[in-house]
Amino acid sequence: MGKFKAYLFKNELGITKEHSLLLKDEILRGLVYSKAKKKREDHFGTRYSVNIKIRIFEKEAMVCTAWIIRTEEDFPRLTTCYIKK
């Protein structure tokens, strides 16, 4: 995570880099209940965003996740995530 993103994750959810697997699990769990929005398509692939409400350590924040399904692949890859303010 970048410096500013890391600050927001720590400040809003109490998450540090030591909690990366916990955040991954919460994002994957949240995908079940959230709707993906198609953003754009180009020669690299199709990009989507998914807003997920994350609750960890008795804190809650909306996390925006960005995904790509590359042209030659059939599965999504997380490209970034950040706290929505």
Domains of the chain, with CATH numbers? 2-83 (3.10.450)
pLDDT at 85: 79
The model scores a pTM over 0.75: yes
pLDDT digits over 7-48, tens only?
A: 999 999 999 999 999 999 999 999 999 999 999 999 999 999
Contact 84/62 with Cβ under 8 angstroms?
A: yes
pLDDT at 83: 96
pLDDT digits over 43-76, tens only?
A: 999 999 999 999 999 999 999 999 999 999 999 9
